[in-house]
Structure 1
């Protein structure tokens, strides 16, 4: 079955309550009369159960709209904002398919106007918030639990998320006792029927805010030493040179002919210039590889048994 938070359920109840109230209350203006007529036509065309399923699918949209004005909206969420949002946002012109408009007019509440999200310019960032806060995005997530484990879905909005979930439900529709063709049902109907009827699977929806990790670029660029290295296969070394590197890595640093460090599967070797006395102690194949790294702008070479073979460099199969 599908799982919802208490907030989701309360918002769904507010939406449905508002639709019923707007359908049945006595109209005092031509706009209210037209809306009530459109609602009654929609009820007659779709039926109460089908329309209710559509209406509760607007939960994410109305909650997103509320979050943009919650701090300054002067009236209540349930008795004013939700009915106002429905009146301003929902297109009832097709009684078979009431939908959220692509654009919507903005009404006034008291002396202020409160634009709905997505229909006007985005709200300006609050004073004192960080640059990373402005880059944060909210994503919609769903976790489908099934006998093989779980599927995790992430989408930029509720509609896109429902499309992904519905695609899953249609793929495994044969696992529930429903003879209808899921391709002839809306995404909301497919999702609701699938998880209500499936004996062992469930779907949990949520929203998540994702923000970039705050960091001080000046610190990274200025005060932390950085470098470049390339990874080479140990096959570019002879057996003798590999044995030398292995031996030198265990010596005290002052005794080594070159400053190296052992890794789990090889060695780090610097490419900086070496004085003549030390050069005389190094194998020629190692000197050529150090010169190769320095010529290509690398400060270190990492010889690794799982590293890549580089065309043009000698290979030694051992």
Structure 2
């Protein structure tokens, strides 16, 4: 699936839905084809710009104190923002209708149709998407950086030893950077099967669930509140 349109993606998601819902109705070859297409789309979306155009709805309100500017991905979202101003200053117009009973669109239109000195304007701007590139996709990875203080001293010492072992003898792909350690993040399901200290498992899980393929422990990196820290 070298290139794809928005329609292609919708069709693929529909196929994937059918396979997940009733896998027994599909051959192993077809399931493998859907999996391959999903992987291809995921790789493209992670490494390249989305190739579809995007509509941005923008608007502004001209009032006595200046201008207010708004933007949304739909007209409804834009009107919801602009309606906040209209409801706040509803008493400035001679309309008895409670604005809370009106839709956002009706609130905005009613307000400015009756206000003698305020004006508004809206516009839909279409931003062209990037064309699909024929260049080979360059593989990239996400790297999470954590403080070494999220490791116990005994764990750090064990990692120093592990980094010197032959690759086939290591439980993890790990390297000593001189200022900490660089680890390849295993998938979350495999993490549960590896016999490693709890502090290291917590940090690797923290990275894995955030879609990071690598974890760099650096003594100069800041600590995060959601992981335990250790003084050493």
Mark yes or no: TM-score above 0.5.
no
- Scaled by the length of structure 1, what TM-score is found? 0.30
The normalised TM-score by structure 2 is: 0.38
Q: Radius of gyration: which is bigger? A: 1
Structure with the bigger RCO (C-alpha within 8 Å, sep 6+) is 2
